[in-house]
Chain A
């Protein structure tokens, strides 16, 4: 399977704990995006990388959120001191360089905060 891969698929944690998600993009793609999706809503943009450079961050990305793409391949999204409101599906997408290139999504990591 050469699609976008996300791990884990599900994460249940207690409020206040830190969590980290991983995304492996399609190998030839140099852009990688993170989105958050809550029930009944469309995905909301969080941040994106071009190669290893983080080029844009949404206002949704509070100081508790950090994303990295150290070698321009896989990426991690970490949430520190999780809160109830962080419960959501976290989606990763990748694309070729360019604003009009199709973004291909993984199946997401569903985060539940107890």
Chain B
């Protein structure tokens, strides 16, 4: 089955800097790649997603890139703010069976 690896497990940046989180997946049939933000005591919140027919997508300070050949995708957050501090999960989906990475704890220091 699908296996998703996520790096780094923790990331600390200064407010205003950029943050990059990377994921790799194993099954080339995966066709949908969402990113979720999870705050303490809450469920994961979808922040951006990308489908396999697109290489890049941007939404304000957040962007995601997908390299199907290398089977990896990345989340880029620019101009980070303290409220961006949370755990971020990548996921890869085949026919709705979504597999998640282990998460990245992002800390933005003011």
Contacts and interface: CB of A to CB of B under 8 A. Distances in A.
B43 A103 contact: no
Given A99-B32, A102-B34, A102-B49, A44 B43 contact: no
B31 A103 contact: no
Interface stretch (A61-69, A70-78, A104-112): A104-112
Interface of B: 4, 6, 31-32, 34, 36, 41-46, 49, 51, 89, 91, 93-103
Given A91-B43, A100-B32, A107-B42, A44 B51 contact: no
Nearest to A106: B43
A48 B96 CA distance: 8
B46 A104 contact: yes
A107 B41 contact: yes
Contacts of A101: 32, 96
Contacts of A40: 102-103
B96 A44 contact: no
Contacts of B89: 42-43
Contacts of B41: 107
B51 A45 contact: no
Contacts of A42: 4, 6, 89, 91, 100-103
Contact of A44 (B32, B45, B100): B100
Contacts of A103: 34, 46, 98
A105 B44 contact: yes
A69 to B, nearest CB: 15
B49 A105 contact: no
A22 interface: no
Contact of A41 (B43, B91, B102): B102
B44 A45 contact: no
Contact of A105 (B31, B45, B51, B96): B45
Interface string A34-51: 000000111111001000
Given A48-B96, A99-B93, A107 B43 contact: yes
A56 B97 contact: yes
Contact of B51 (A4, A31, A100, A106): A100
